[in-house]
Amino acid sequence: MPSALDRKTVVIIGGTSGLGLAAARAAVNAGACAVIVGRDGDKADEAAKSLGGGARSLSGDATDATLADKAIALAVETFGGFDALYHVAGGSGRRRGDGPLHELTEDGWNHTLNLNLSSVAWSNRAAVRQFLRQGTGGSIVNCGSVLGSHPSPEFFSTHAYAAAKAAIAGLTRSAAAYYAPQGIRFNVVAPGLVATPMSERAQTNDAIMRFIRTKQPLDGGRIGRPEDLDAAVVWLLSDESRFVTGQVIAIDGGWSVSEGQIPHE
């Protein structure tokens, strides 16, 4: 039987580590060709080599409004087409001044929204423009966060980041409604806390890890792994989800339906 992404070409913005690299492996294993994009050129090249001959890399900053256009052009030139985009790139603005609203700095706000929201707008814009030029439909999947809808005031009080992730859901739904007649689909995956380079602060904090054991109670109560998202991402990128658009799918170990900090017997 053909795999879910046979003869598909996927561009992954932020595809050289963590969630993005795991998704790139899953996409290639499902039959796709992939262009992965990351800030570190050497790391991007190494990641692409690890994926085999069906992958290429491009280095650049996701906040560059032209980066996704270049990645999509590379996909078309190298693999002969473009079928789907997964935007994973983003990050914490804590060190730049993100935090609770009364402590939030202008630089923290601007940096965090540029990194986590503007970058999504530019990559999604590039994908839509290419789909319209091709006269084809396509799939766009954006990576949100459970914090966009289910806050954690004790441990994750970065309000600009939460605002950006909530806005991704709004952008995605609005675009999904507008472009549905053209067969261009938009969806969001919203992870809980996952073990990635971005979450190192949380992973080394005993209080947060105790909280996660009850806040993410599935599978024994644990932090997520990048590969926990893979099946959903591959499905959303593929034609198997052809009748799905405008959805936010929480992949959070139960975070969004759990009180947390209540020990389980």
- Residue 36 in 3-state DSSP? strand
Is 123:85 a contact under the CB 8 Å cutoff? yes
Amino acid making up residue 16: T
Separation CA 239–CA 6 (nearest Å): 10
Residue 161 falls in the annotated catalytic set = yes
Separation CA 151–CA 164 (nearest Å): 13
Is 161:137 a contact under the CB 8 Å cutoff? no
Of the candidates 86, 161, 178, 179, the residue annotated as catalytic is 161
Is 186:247 a contact under the CB 8 Å cutoff? no
Cβ partners under 8 Å of residue 137, min gap 6: 131, 182, 183, 184, 185
Separation CA 144–CA 140 (nearest Å): 13
Active site amino acids:
161
